Amino acid sequence: MPADLVESSAAYDLGFLSVQEKYDAYAAATVLCQPSLHESFSIVMMEAWVCETPTLVHSDCAVTREFSELSGGGLHFRSYDEFAGCLDWLLEHPTQAHQMGQAGAAYVQHNFTWDAVLGRLLGFLRATLHPPHTYQHAIIGA
pLDDT digits (tens, 9 = 90+) for 88-122: 999 999 999 999 999 999 999 999 999 999 999 99
Nearest to 38 by CA among 73, 7, 1, 65: 65
Domain annotation covers residue 5: no
Domain annotation covers residue 7: no
How far apart, in whole angstroms, are the C-alpha atoms of residue 141 and residue 104? 60
Domain annotation covers residue 35: yes
3-state secondary structure of 27: helix
Q: What angle do CA 67, 72, 76 make, to 5 degrees?
A: 65
User: Which CATH number do you get for residue 103?
Assistant: 3.40.50.2000
Q: Say how many domains are in the chain.
A: 1
What is the model's pTM? 0.79
